[in-house]
Amino acid sequence: MDSHDEAGLNRLVGATVKALRETAGLTTRALAVRAGVSQPFLSQIERGVSAPSMSTIYRLAEALGVVPGDLLPRPPLEQVTVVRADEGQRLPVADRDDAAVGRIMMSRSDRMLEVIEYRIEPGRYVEEWFESRGEMAVYVIDGALEIEFEGSGTVRLGPRDMLHHPGTVRHRWLLVGDNPAYVLLVVGRVPAEGLPG
Type of residue at 152:
S
Domain assignment of residue 82, yes or no: no
Are 139 and 110 in the same domain? yes
Do the strands 153-157 and 101-107 form a parallel or antiparallel pair, or are they unpaired?
Answer: unpaired
Q: How many CB atoms lie within 10 A of CB 138?
A: 21
Is residue 143, in this structure, part of any structural domain at all? yes
Domain of residue 15 covers 3-77
Report CA-CA distances (Å) from 59 to 16, 68, 79, 114, 188.
15, 8, 29, 37, 36
User: Domain for residue 83, yes or no?
Assistant: no
Same domain, 146 and 65: no
The total domain count for the chain is 2
Same domain, 61 and 149: no
- One digit per residue, the tens of pLDDT, for the chain of length 197 reads 444 467 778 888 899 999 999 999 999 999 999 999 999 999 999 999 988 888 888 889 999 988 888 887 766 676 778 888 988 888 888 888 899 999 988 877 677 889 999 999 999 999 999 888 889 999 999 999 999 999 999 999 999 999 999 999 999 999 999 999 999 999 997 765 544 43
Q: CA–CA separation, 149 vs 173, rounded Å? A: 9
Q: Give this prediction's pTM.
A: 0.63
- Same domain? For 72 and 141 the reply is no
pLDDT tens sequence across 86-142: 888 888 888 888 999 999 888 776 778 899 999 999 999 999 998 888 899 999 999
Instruction: Give the burial string for 46-81 (b: 16+ CB within 10 Å, else e).
Output: bebebebeeebbebbbebbebeeeebeeeeeeeeee
DSSP 116: E
**Does residue 30 form part of some domain?**
yes
Do 129 and 67 reside in the same domain of the chain?
Answer: no
